[in-house]
Every structure is written in structure tokens, then in C-alpha cells.
Structure 1
Amino acid sequence: MKKLICFASLFILFASVLAFGQTADVVGQLADETGALLPGVTITVRNVDTGMVRTTFTSERGLYSIRAVPPGNYELTAELEGFETITLTGLKLTIGATATLNITLRIAAVREVITVTGETPLIEGTQSDISTDIPQQMIENLPLLGRNFVNLALLAPGTGVQTTFDPTKERDGDMSGVSFGASSGRENNVMIDGGDNNDDVVGSFLQFFPQDSIQEFEVITTRFKAEYGHTVGGVINVITKSGTNELHGGFYTLHRPDSFTSISAISEEAGAEKEMRVQHIYGGVLGGPIVRNKAFFFGNIDYTKQPKTIPVLIAGYPELNDIWGGNFDNSFSQNLVVGKFTAQPTEQHFLTGRYGYQKDAKENSQVGGTYTVERGGPEENIYHSMLAKDTIIFNPNTLGEVLYQYSTFVNKIDYDETITVGINTPELNTGRNNNLPQRTDQIKHHLRYDQSYHMTGWGGEHDWKVGFEYQNVLIKGFLGSDRDMGPRYSLTWYDTDDYLAGMYPDYASITYGWGLAPAPGDGDLYTLYSWYAQDDLRLTDKLTLNLGLRWDWENGILGERRHFASDDVLGKPDSDKNNFAPRLGFAYDIYGDSSFVIRGGWGMFYQQVVNNLLLWLDPLDVEGGLPSGTIDYPQWGQADIMAGQVDWSQYITVPVGPPTPQDIYYIYCIAPDVEIPMFQTASIGFSKELPYDVALDVDYVYQRSDNPMIFYRHGDIPLPWTGQSWEEMGLYYKCRVAGNLGRNRYQALEVAARKRFGHNMMMQASYTLSSNEGFRDRELSTLLYDLTYSDWENANYGPIFGSRTHVFNIGAMFILPYDFNLGLNLGYGSPFAFSIYSYEGGDMDGDGFESDTMKDHKAGQGRGADFKNVDIRLTKSFSFADRYNVRLFFEVFNLFNADNRSPRRWIDQWESPEFNTGTIVLGVAREAQVSVRFEF
């Protein structure tokens, strides 16, 4: 607490930061008709909706720069004594954009004022990053599955559909995130109004915001500046709406009756009944002035109710499906609230305050596919976030901003604790779920400080930005429970037929204690410190260098943290403090008018390590570890097995006291030399303006890492109770170490085309041809072949699980006659990569487990399902009294009911009769909904 007070005092004292990518910049050059540069020209930009004004002057080279301008509709005025005054109107500034507006002034004997309708350039001539801006028109008019704004990022090149890896993020149909380049959806950096919106336990975005509260959406996929960190994936910048001088609002309702939904191919193939998928959404928005031209408010309330069921299908085994299959209650409800205050009390200060609230409730979380209803439990999630910031204009060339955000997240998933035994086969997962019950609390303080200033000299025009960031995250539970659950048993058969025949399980484990992990009362404190400096150096009128340096230090996983018994095995890892990340980029504007720009660069980026890495260490602190009990072979009957009526616990002898080495299922450790994974990224490409307001972007991107984090088995580690190593005891396979091992390589050709609104249409399209290879088969997983296997390095290296070679996406909006509007989303992904396992193929690497991939297939050689999707929205508008508007829309998701299956629960065992089949839907089977909106 003393640290927080100290940092808060420091922030108040300095009180200056920049808007951290949540704003736009306006730059340009002034000249007369002869081409002579004009210094001293007064440049003024004014927001036509709020009256906000910013002013600066041109330098000796006629250059000007106005930074940190809130996105919106603007006009720009250029004034100089003896010259005409020009006002450019109709300027739309978007999030993260740098608008280059060069102006020519004519000599005028008397004062003349000329108003010209202008547009911001399609291409940024001074930036080297690869970014995509999704304008508000698309946010409001494109069909958006689950109203999840994160899915808008799929319109950018270099992105891919990310399946659900955390039940708290699951919306509709196992599509809850997006991956970038070589990374997974865990490793992105999502910011709302400049505040951190990332889940520090499992990764990915944290809090959900209603679609109607989103004003601008920017995706930076590659080569982002030094102000951005904690990610080797991409950056998602979102700003919420603000009020204006006019009072605007509305009410809306969306409905999806069950008759508007189709059966999935998975259910249809199994002869099952269609699951129920009903949805009702009610909401309202209101925004306007508190004091005209000074202070404004905006609010959005959104409520969702989904009475629905989820199918459980035991494919290939009708006798098991008769017992455990069916459609089970999976009802979901959500409450969302957003409130925002903005004000400009003086020309030197722009204030923002924002509050966000979310509450979710769901029945039978973690159920579906081969996971029966016994595996699930009721889930509840509650989020709060409060953000405050002040942008300060010290003078035309110097500004800053102070930002503070406080957020909390409580996740609870309960469970029927009378179920003590879990049964697992390739086609069936029933009984005890050792991941439940669980509760995770996250309490986060986020502080930022930057300062930005413009100067001339040292070789050109400089736009500097320097700052630091501090995050303090208290995490309680680490997916743990707040009560002692006693022993829980997990039995696994590699072959479902062996289970049906009543044969001895292939292995068994016993978990003791507090749910999945202990829940210490004080929790675990995770802190993050960052410093960065960025210089956008305009060497000539055509050449700009983007130079940056960043330093990150994460403390709480490595370095200072509470002691685990597992630290006694290898020793406690040291802090990793040498994470310096230089960034170098260039943009060359060939003609000087932003119509054809060549760009490229190189940079180093450090991954933020998700905190559930510590989850694997916790069980060793509970009753000495995860021991395997002795199982006496029983003579049970097949009918009792199938009906789940066997009391497995009576056949398991629970070890008393510290477990013997033979009893321990696994022991987890963190390598003492572990470090934060680092990726290097290089890119080269161009942007070209084409006729009809179209811009084409083409880039080659290369990423590499030589220290990814992964689990591997290690034999030369002493067991605390014996002093002998695992290898000496012949138990090499029982020790798993989290450390840096292997390599990742990603290269891609990324192509994007975008059309600004005109000729009654707007469009954003992207295509990515990529190769993504490495050692990571699944997140936080062990190697497929361990170090005892003679060719382990080549055998483990291959296409990353879930990666696709070809990805194409397009979003488009068309204005039709009679006030109709058509929104369209098209998506395609080629078959994803996965590794083929052969549980009956033997122990290929000598680690004691017959679960390696087949000898004929190294990692990632399997190919799963492709992804095809078409979503449409048709809107009809009715306007009256010049102020009121009623919109009716009808939208369909997965129009052609494509059979899209998720990689997350893919049957990858060669011997299974259902091999190379998915058991849950990716996206949704075809469904439609209708909506009515009243706006004023």
C-alpha cells in the first residue's frame, strides 16, 4: 500500500502523460504557391461536435504537429498574415491514426477565408507499424457474433480465430478471441480508453463492453512502437463513446427465437435433437452535454438473457451416448453498464472518467462435446473498472497525460463435491472434474506516465514520447477453492473399449486439498514496471524514422513471490531484469503526398507470462504433491461401469504421509534460469493508394523466438524426500519443468485492402499466407518427445497446434436504395494443424508414457477442419421529424450452416474410431435474430 501511495503521489506531482495510442495525431507542412516553406502559420483544429480546440504553429521548415487529439469529426484552419485563410472541413480523425495534411496558401492583398471540404489521407506517410482501423460505421453496421467487439480484429491481416481456453471468456460458439502472428490469444495487449484490459491469470482480454459503447477500434499487428509492451502478439486499442453538444440516445432490443436456429452438423450426424439457443437483449444509450463546449456525459446499459442448452455427444459409442448424451441446461445471462464523463474546463486540460461493470451467470460451465454434465457447475463472474485521466497541454509543443485505473474481477465456478471420481477416455469425459470448484480474484491498479514534445534540430523534426508504466495485481486463489475438497480421483483409459470391458485403467491420480490449488488469504502480488522512449524523427519531407527503446520487469512469477515447496527442488528463479526491447522502423513517402509509402522495421518484444503458471506449483504444497494411489483390480460389471455406479474410491488405497517417489503422479518446478520469452519481429512492405478511395497494403513479416516457455521432463533433479534424482530411481518421466526450450518461427505474406466510405460502400479485406512452426503444441503443455529421445529436437518442431496456412476475411457495408443497409462478413481458414497421438504405439521417447505421437509423424503433421463463415445484416431505417430514427435489422450468422469444428476438443488419437473429428462447434450453427432500435 505504501508503494501505491508513493507512486500515486509521484503521478499527481508530475501530472503529465500522453494518451497512449487512444488518440490521433495531425501533422503536415505549409508552403506558398512557389513551394517556399511558411514558418509561423497558426494551425487550429476544432472538434465540430464538442467545440474542443487545439492550436499550434509551423516551424522554420513549415512543419506542424498536433498530438493526442481525441478521435472525432474536425475542421482545421491555417492562418498567416498576408495570406488567405483556409479551413478544411469534414476531417475524420480515428484512433491511433496520424493524419498528414499538407496545405498550400496563396498570397492575398486583403483577408480571404476559403472553406474546403477535405479528407484525411488513406495512408499514413510517417508510420512503419502494420495497423488496421475499424471505423464506427463498421462497428455499428457489421454483423458481430455475440456482440463481441474483439472479433472485429479478425478483419486485420495476420490474425486468426482463437478458440476458448477460459470458460469466463466464452460467449457464442467457442469463438472468444483472436491470435496474432506466431502468438496465441493469450499473449495480446487489449486496452480500453488507455486502461489495461488483460486477464493476468490466463491471458486474453478481461472485461466485456457492450457493442453500442464502442466508438473506435484499432488493431496493431506488427512493429508497434515502444509505448506498447507486454505482448508478442498484437495490440487492440478501443475507445468508448463520449457525449457531444447534442443530446443523443436510444433504446434497442434484439431477439433470437429458437425457430431461428439450425441444428449443428455434429448433432445431426449423431442423430441427436437440436439444442435450444434462444437470446433476448435489451439496452439503452444516452449522451449529451453537461455544459456546452465544456463537459459531456455518455452511458450504456445492456442486458442479455440466453435460455439455451448444450449438446453432449459420445460419438461412436451409442451405448454410452444413451447414458450420458443429450442436451443440458447452459443458460447464460449478462449485465453490462458503462458510464463516461469528459470535460475540457480550460484549453490546457482534457479530463476523462469512465466506469464499467459486468456480471455473468451461466449454468453447467465446462460442459459440452465429450464432457458430460457431471463435469460442470454453475459459474458467476463480476467485473468492475474505474478509469481517470487528464491530458495536459503545457504549450503547443509539449503535452502529457496522467492515467489511473482500478479494476476487479471475481470468478466462481461451483461443483457437486459428492462426485469424487473422474473417468477419461478419448470419447468420454465424465464424473469428477479436478478443475472444479474454483475461485479467482484479481485486483489491479494501473498507472501510466508519459510526456510528449515536439522539437526541431538534431537532424530533423522530432516527436518525442517518454514515460513509464506500473501495474500492481493482487491475485487470490489461482483457480483455487476456498474450502477443503478432500481426495479426488481421476482414472484414464487410452482406449474406450478397454473401459467398457472393465479393464484396469492406464493410469490413475489422486488430488488432495483445496480445489485445484490452495487459496492463500493474502493472495499473490504481481507487479510490472516499464520504461520507454520513442522518437518519430522526420529526416526529410519524405523519410521518417520511428525509433524506440522499452524496458520491462515482471515481478511475482519470477523473483519476489511466496515460497513454494517446489522451489526446494531446483531453487527459486531469479528476477529477469534485462528485458530491453529496441524498436527501429522507417516510412518513406515516395511522392510526399501519402499516396505511396514504403515501410519496414525490426524490433524486440517480450511476452507477459500468465500467472496460472504458478498453478502447477501449488499442488506440491498440498499434502506433498499429486500422488497416485494403489488400485486393486475389481470385478465390476459392465452395466455398472456404463451407468457410472461404480464406487471407484473403494478400490483405491490412499497413501498415508509423504508420498513415495513411485506414488507421485507429477512434480512441477520452474527452472532457476527461466526468463521472459522474447520474440524478434521484422517486416517490409508498402501501402499504395488506388482509385475509388481504395488503399492496398502488402507486407512480409518474420518473427522468431529462441526461448519460448514450455514444460519438459527432466531427470537430473533431486527429490526432496530422498536426495536421489528421478533418473537414478528410474522415474525420469515424473518431473516436469517450466523453462525456456526450443524455438518458434513465423513468416507471412499479409495483404489488406480497404475502401473508405464512398459510392455507397465501405470495405476492409485481408489475406494471410503464413507458416507458423515451433515447439508449442498446446499452451502450457509438455513436449511431445522428451530429451531422452535421440531426435527430440526435430520431432518436437513442426506447425503450431491450431495454426492455418491460409486465412481470408472481409467486412463490407453497402448503402442500398430506400434506406436499406447491408452489412457482410466473410471468413475462411484452411485446415488447422494438430499432432497425431498413438497411445497404443508404445513409449517412443522412453519417458514411461505411451502417449507420444506416431513415429511416422512429428509434431503438427495432422490437418483438422477448415473454417468457412458468412454473416449478413440487413437494416431498414425510418427517419422522421429531422431528429428521430427507427432502425429494423435482421441478421444471420453462418448463413450456409457450414460445419465448423473447434480445435479445442479435437480427437487426435490415431486408434480412435472418431480420429480427426471435432466434438464442439467453432462459431455457431446457423442462427438469426431481429432487432428494433429507436434513436434520437
Structure 2
Amino acid sequence: MEYVRENASIAYSPASVAQFDALSQLASDGLIPGVSSIAVPKTVPIPFRDYLGSVRFDWAQSSRSQWFLRMSEDSYLTHNNLVQQAMLPSTGLTTHNNYWNAVVSNSFAFSPTWLGTFVFDAGALHLTQARNSTLGFALQFPFSATSLTVSGFETFGDNQFATPITLFPSLRNQQKYQLRYDVSHATGDHSFKFGVNFIHEPVLSGAFPGNEEALYSFPQNPSFYVANPGQFPLDYADGAATTPASDGTFSQNVQRFGLYAEDSWRATRHLTVNYGLRWQTTFGLFAGSGHSQVLNPAFVTLRALQVPFASGVPHDYRKQFGPRLGIAYSPGSSGNTVIRAGFGLFYNDLAQNGWATAFQGVNATNAATGPCALSGTSGAYSLVGAGCLQGGAGATGNLIDANYKTPYGIHATAGVQHALGRNWTISADFTHEQGNHGYRGYSFTSGTNLFTPLIPASDGSYTDDQQSVVPNLNLFKSDNRSSYNALMIVAQGNVNRRFNLIAHYTLSKAKTWGCLLGELWDYVNGVCDPLNPFGAGDYGPSGEDSLHRFVLAGTLHLPGGVELTTMTQAESARPITLTTPAGDRAVINGVKTSLDQFRGTPFIQADLRVSRPVHFGERWEIRPFAEFFNIFNRNNPGANYVTDISALPNPVNDLSNATAICSEPNCSAMVPITNPQKQLLFPAGALGDFFGPGTTVGIPFAAQLGVRVNF
């Protein structure tokens, strides 16, 4: 059993409190409909509680049969989750996660050379995120949605679940059952193994908030409206945006099945070869709430409009064959050197979980209940039928591409390890990872790059007629490609009797296709131009790209039994993409920037632990310790910088083509942009306001005391 009790908090800055007080004054003056008062705390507690438990039972039924049963659970609760420096507590969430898992396994020896292993696994997940406020609206002021926050979006009111860090389901449920059986057989120089694996997920569901919400965005901060109260109602009305109520639920019932066979062959005394083949597939991957994507209103509508993207619906991919090959060679007779190499194909559809909106389209409320057809003439076109997605350009459909193929990665490695005497080993390994058929989102806009051929180009109201019936479309494809190459060098050993260490250096490069954000094997990648998805500048470093990384870990045994342990890590800067509010990459001095063209700040952090074990007899050990994190108190913004040039603290002269930037926030003078890397990068906020404007990735200097008892 384990219990974690953590009491963190956010301490509001004087600048934030001043704006909160002004907002409270506006409420007291009756300017905020439905709100007569707003409390302004100096700090906001963020308590975290975690309960973990695990139990295991082993049973030797006989000399041939052994069983084990393991059960574990984890339940944690966070209050005021995602409250940030410039956000009042009403915008936070109460997050409660519950996990449960049980495994039963049996190993049975049929004979000295045949062994069967049975595994049954069951697991469950239940996650909820409840808003602190349910007013039905939120107020947003510039000081809450500037470069100083990442999750921040709202100043007061309901969390809108609208930013990249909050746009996740407020409810998740999962039930998972796995049945696996493996058989191994050893004979001579061969060790064969084959098996079957079946996974059943009858519950794989969730929901995004579906209530009606209104967001009121203001161009000025609250202090301005206290001095100019007559302007508040005008900006309140002008900045209103309403999200209508909807059914945000989604649900799947998925089965996965796999077979494999492999052999480990000791070809010679120095050479071992491992080879095998795996085949796997899925069942029901694209069905939502028991409905096929054929019932997605977007599919029904686009097919009626003869839009080519509705040529069909996706199906479970059956050609998931994954060969694997590995070799290990030890030259000479000393056994001090080992050469390794390997190759394999690995399929994984879990990199595609950006599809939730497509499954929402076929839930019990949204699934099409009839056909759809286009009727009318120029200036009076309309969609007719119970299966239509009405609203034209005011509605958005979400579809999964009919040509779906399961994403797979090509994994190739080669390396050598050598022992330098008894105390030191060194190794060098090269890894190549190539992702294929990865996720990418294509966003089409009605009347701009999405048209129906049923409305002729000669139509006098062509664009308006297109937008009156053709919805916008998010199309999820599996056509992305990415790569990761790395050389890893490791040295490990004992400097002397009192000091041992391990040093790890990685030289790597990671690239992918993307528009504003590029990640390896992820579901956030999109395209800038859906009609030219592999355009110039769309291929570049992924978010994981870090050229150099060095990690040093070691333990020094001091006199008196004191142990000094360090973990020091450093890596070169990660990439950043500068964007515009229009959802494209920024143009600077007439040249469109490329994906992840810019770099953040190198990450360096040193941690230290001091401990002194005390032994009582042979069975008890008490180990008091002191731990120090980021002992040099380095500000590590990493790649956490303001990416939207419209949100820079110092404004640029033109969002469509930035050629100059204000010398300071009040913009008393403009300075030509000659070095975008230095002039346009401003650290953004992260997990609190540790170092002032532009906070950290990780933590500032921190220390903790503890004691561990082993018996």
C-alpha cells in the first residue's frame, strides 16, 4: 500500500491580483450578468491525493505447474487542476482517476523441453474531470491568454476545454481483457516459441463536455473597464461566442488478435540468430456506439454531394505482417566483446486516437437516420433528408479516410559492447526508427478548398451556394512519415572502490511531416494545405528533435557510510514553429517559415541525493535521505515559447508578413527583424510562475527530506 499527500499551490502575482480585484469591482457594479461578486484569493491550493495498492500471490501447484495472481489499483484526486497564474479558481477542474488491474498466470512444463505459459489480464479505467464552475460562460481578458500561460484561456467562469492542453475528454471509461498463451520448445541449438494473443475491449468510451457555453473575449484588461465602465457592455456583446449544446459522447468495442512464431538459433559458439514473424489485426476498430461510419452524417452528406472524400469508409487492416530478425556475435574467445544487430516491423493503431470526433458523429444522438439529397437551384440550394449534416459552412464533419492502413514502424539497430577489464564497459549503438502511415489531420473549408461538383462553376452565386450546403471537413488520414536516427554511447564502471558512475551520450535527429506541430508517432500532426499536404517547409524537425543529450549518474561512498548520488542531464534546444492566428506558419521578411525552424533553450539540470543507511540486524534498514532538485536553480523554458506571433509581448508590425517588432510592449518604437531567433522568441508559461514571466519546464530549486525503511 502507498499513500501520497501533496499540497501544492499557486501564489498569484501582484499584477494578477490587481486585475482580479478590478474584475471583482466590475461584478459588484452589476456589469457581469448573473454574477454579483467574485472572490479574489491570494493563493490557490492544488491538493493531490494518491492511493496505490498491490498484492501478489504465488502458488507452486507442483514441480511442473506454477501460478501467480497479482492485483493492483491506483486512485488519485486533484483539486483546482489546471489553474494557472492569471486564472481564478473557477476555471479549474477536479480530476479523479481510477485504475484497476488483475493478472493470473500459469506456467506448465509438459516435458523437460516443452513449456506452456497462460496469461489472463483484466483492467479498468474511470476518469472524470469536473468543472469548478458551471455558470455556462467564461470571461477572457488579455492578461490571462497571453504568453504567460499555456493552459490558460479563461480568466473567470467555466473552463472551456479549448486549449491544446485542456482539449481532452472530461469522461473516460475502459474495460480491457487479454488472453494469451505461449508455447516454447528447446531442442539442440534451437529454441522455438509461438503463441496467440487476444484482447477484448468491450468498453472504450468517453465524452467531451456537451453543455452550451458562451465565451466573452475582451480586448482590454479589467482595470481598463473599471476606469471606462461604459465600454464594458459594448465589448461584452462584441466578444460573445457561443458553443451550442451537443452530444459529446463516443464509444468503441474493439477486439485485437495476434499470432507469432520465432526461433533463437545458436548457429555457432559465437553467433546466435533470432528470427520470427508476427501477424495481427483488429475487429470493430472503426465502429462507434455500434454504428459503422456509413451512418456518419458527414459521410452521408458528402456522398450525396458527390464530394470525392466520401468514396467509402475505412475497414480493419488485415495485412499486418511483422518480420523480426536479430543477431548477436561474440568474436574471439575472451567473451569481452558482443556485436548486436536487429530489424523488425511493428504495427500499432494506438497512434490514431485523434479520431474521437469521428466516433461522436455516429453516437446515439448524431448517427444518420435516413438519406440525404441536394435540391434547389442557384441561390436556393438546400439539403433534404434525415441523414444530412445541415448548416453548410457553419457545420463541420469529421471522417476517417477510406484508405486507412495501420501505422507501422521500421526498427533497425546495430551496436557493439566491450568490457575493459573487470570494472569498465563501453558500448555504442545506432538506432533507426522509421514511422509509416502515421496520423495526419486534413482540414477542408467549404467554398475554399471543398466543393460539390453538383453546383456548376457557372453558377452566379457559386461560392455562396457552395457554402450553403457543403460543410467544413476534418479528414483523418494515415499517410504521415517520420524518422528518428540516434547514436548512443555509454560508459559504465567503477572509478575506484568508493565511486561508480554511468555516462550516456546521444547524438540524434528526428524529422516528420507537419504544419504547425510535428511529433513522432502522434495524433496531433496536421497539414497546412490539404490540397498540397507534402509542400515545401512541411518536413522538418519533430518536437522530440534534440541533437545532443548527455546524462551522468553516479554514487560516491563517503566516509561514515554517507552516500552521495547525482543525476545530471543536459540536452540541446528543441524546435519551435512560429504561427499566425490564421492557423499557418508565420511569414517573416516575405519568407514563409518552415516546420520547427526555430530553437528554444538548452535544458540543463543537476539533482543530488544524500543518504545514510543504518542497519539493524540482518533484516532491517533505515535510510534517511535529503534530495535536492535543480541545485543550480536554472530556468529551463526548453521549447516552451510563445508560438503565435499575435500573442508576443512585443507586437509585430504585420501578422501576414512580419518585418519589424516593437522594442517594448508599449511599442514606442519599431525595430527591423534581422535575427528572428533572438527577436521573436519569448518564453511562455508552464506549470506555475516559478521564475516570473516565462516559466519553467520542470521545477526550480527544490529540496525534500525523507526516510525509507526496508524490512
Counterpart code for 1:675:
K
Please state whether the residue corresponding to 1:418 is helix, strand or coil. Answer: coil
* Distance in structure 1 (CA, Å) of the matches to 2:5 and 2:454: 54
**Which residue in the other structure is 2:320 paired with?**
579
After TM superposition, the structure 1 = structure 2 runs for residues 146-161 of structure 1, keeping only pairs within 5 Å, are none
- 1:419 equivalent to 2:140? Answer no
- Write out per-residue CA displacement over residues 387-446 of structure 1, whole angstroms, 9 at most, x where no aligned residue: 111122223322121111111111111112213246484445104434388221111112
Q: 1:883 to 1:674 in 2, by over 3 A?
A: closer
* Distance in structure 1 (CA, Å) of the matches to 2:570 and 2:595: 24
Please state whether the residue corresponding to 1:339 is helix, strand or coil. Answer: strand
* Distance in structure 2 (CA, Å) of the matches to 1:683 and 1:859: 28
**Which residue in the other structure is 2:701 paired with?**
926
Contact preservation (8 Å) 1:685, 1:700: yes
Counterpart code for 1:551:
W
**Which residue in the other structure is 1:660 paired with?**
391
* Distance in structure 1 (CA, Å) of the matches to 2:286 and 2:333: 49
Alpha-carbon distance, 1:880 to partner: 3.0
Alpha-carbon distance, 1:317 to partner: 12
**Which residue in the other structure is 1:647 paired with?**
none
Alpha-carbon distance, 1:613 to partner: 2.8
* Distance in structure 2 (CA, Å) of the matches to 1:726 and 1:355: 61
**Which residue in the other structure is 2:647 paired with?**
912
**Which residue in the other structure is 1:770 paired with?**
508
Please state whether the residue corresponding to 1:794 is helix, strand or coil. Answer: coil
**Which residue in the other structure is 2:340 paired with?**
599
Alpha-carbon distance, 1:503 to partner: 9.7
Please state whether the residue corresponding to 1:616 is helix, strand or coil. Answer: helix
Contact preservation (8 Å) 1:832, 1:866: yes
* Distance in structure 1 (CA, Å) of the matches to 2:348 and 2:600: 28
* Distance in structure 1 (CA, Å) of the matches to 2:453 and 2:146: 35
Contact preservation (8 Å) 2:256, 2:282: yes
Contact preservation (8 Å) 2:264, 2:274: yes
Please state whether the residue corresponding to 1:617 is helix, strand or coil. Answer: helix
Please state whether the residue corresponding to 1:729 is helix, strand or coil. Answer: helix
* Distance in structure 1 (CA, Å) of the matches to 2:22 and 2:629: 31
Please state whether the residue corresponding to 2:537 is helix, strand or coil. Answer: helix
Alpha-carbon distance, 1:883 to partner: 3.6
Counterpart code for 1:609:
L
Alpha-carbon distance, 1:624 to partner: 6.3
Counterpart code for 1:745:
S
Please state whether the residue corresponding to 1:898 is helix, strand or coil. Answer: coil
- 1:669 equivalent to 2:386? Answer no
* Distance in structure 2 (CA, Å) of the matches to 1:549 and 1:685: 23
Relative contact order (C-alpha < 8 Å, sep 6+): which is higher? 1
**Which residue in the other structure is 2:212 paired with?**
487
* Distance in structure 1 (CA, Å) of the matches to 2:118 and 2:630: 44
* Distance in structure 2 (CA, Å) of the matches to 1:582 and 1:507: 56
Alpha-carbon distance, 1:580 to partner: 0.6
- What TM-score results when the alignment is normalised by the length of structure 2? 0.73
Contact preservation (8 Å) 2:349, 2:406: yes
Q: 1:554 to 1:349 in 2, by over 3 A?
A: same
**Which residue in the other structure is 2:612 paired with?**
876
* Distance in structure 2 (CA, Å) of the matches to 1:439 and 1:387: 26
Contact preservation (8 Å) 1:784, 1:852: no
Contact preservation (8 Å) 2:486, 2:507: yes
After TM superposition, the structure 1 = structure 2 runs for residues 20-419 of structure 1, keeping only pairs within 5 Å, are 301-310=1-10, 319=19, 327-368=43-84, 373-415=89-131, 416-419=133-136
**Which residue in the other structure is 1:838 paired with?**
580
Q: 1:874 to 1:663 in 2, by over 3 A?
A: same
- Write out per-residue CA displacement over residues 251-282 of structure 1, whole angstroms, 9 at most, x where no aligned residue: xxxxxxxxxxxxxxxxxxxxxxxxxxxxxxxx
- Write out per-residue CA displacement over residues 900-927 of structure 1, whole angstroms, 9 at most, x where no aligned residue: 2365x64212243344313013222222
Alpha-carbon distance, 1:888 to partner: 1.1
After TM superposition, the structure 1 = structure 2 runs for residues 468-867 of structure 1, keeping only pairs within 5 Å, are 468-475=196-203, 477-480=205-208, 485-490=210-215, 502=235, 508=241, 510-514=243-247, 517-518=248-249, 523-558=251-286, 562-564=291-293, 565=296, 566-568=298-300, 569=302, 570=310, 571-609=312-350, 612-620=353-361, 659-664=390-395, 666-714=396-444, 729=466, 734-755=472-493, 759-776=497-514, 777-778=517-518, 779-781=522-524, 783-788=526-531, 792-839=534-581, 849=582, 851-854=584-587, 855-867=591-603
Please state whether the residue corresponding to 2:292 is helix, strand or coil. Answer: coil
Q: Indicate which of 436, 440, 449 corresponds to 2:181.
A: 449
Please state whether the residue corresponding to 1:590 is helix, strand or coil. Answer: coil
RMSD: 3.7
More off after superposition, 866-875 vs 341-350 = 341-350
Q: 1:326 to 1:860 in 2, by over 3 A?
A: farther
Counterpart code for 1:358:
D
Q: 1:679 to 1:316 in 2, by over 3 A?
A: farther
* Distance in structure 2 (CA, Å) of the matches to 1:337 and 1:757: 40
Contact preservation (8 Å) 2:410, 2:433: yes
More off after superposition, 500-509 vs 304-313 = 500-509
Q: How many residues align?
A: 580
* Distance in structure 2 (CA, Å) of the matches to 1:518 and 1:490: 22
Contact preservation (8 Å) 2:253, 2:287: no
- Write out per-residue CA displacement over residues 321-374 of structure 1, whole angstroms, 9 at most, x where no aligned residue: 976996422110111111111233322122211111111011012333566533
Q: 1:733 to 1:747 in 2, by over 3 A?
A: farther
Please state whether the residue corresponding to 2:466 is helix, strand or coil. Answer: coil
Counterpart code for 1:563:
S
Q: 1:396 to 1:451 in 2, by over 3 A?
A: same
Q: 1:554 to 1:926 in 2, by over 3 A?
A: farther
Please state whether the residue corresponding to 1:575 is helix, strand or coil. Answer: coil
Q: Gaps (5+ residues) in structure 2?
A: 24-39, 162-167, 226-230, 303-309, 368-387, 650-680, 687-695
* Distance in structure 2 (CA, Å) of the matches to 1:495 and 1:706: 47
**Which residue in the other structure is 1:465 paired with?**
193
Please state whether the residue corresponding to 2:102 is helix, strand or coil. Answer: strand
Q: 1:713 to 1:486 in 2, by over 3 A?
A: closer
Contact preservation (8 Å) 2:612, 2:623: yes
Q: 1:429 to 1:595 in 2, by over 3 A?
A: same
Alpha-carbon distance, 1:697 to partner: 1.6
* Distance in structure 2 (CA, Å) of the matches to 1:670 and 1:314: 48
Q: 1:827 to 1:321 in 2, by over 3 A?
A: farther
Q: Gaps (5+ residues) in structure 1?
A: 1-300, 626-656, 840-848
Counterpart code for 2:159:
N
**Which residue in the other structure is 1:46 paired with?**
none
- Write out per-residue CA displacement over residues 644-703 of structure 1, whole angstroms, 9 at most, x where no aligned residue: xxxxxxxxxxxxx96421322x32211011111112122222111123432212112222
Please state whether the residue corresponding to 2:613 is helix, strand or coil. Answer: strand
Counterpart code for 2:185:
Y
* Distance in structure 2 (CA, Å) of the matches to 1:530 and 1:491: 51
Alpha-carbon distance, 1:463 to partner: 1.3
Q: 1:699 to 1:593 in 2, by over 3 A?
A: same
- What TM-score results when the alignment is normalised by the length of structure 1? 0.56
Contact preservation (8 Å) 2:483, 2:511: yes
Counterpart code for 1:308:
A
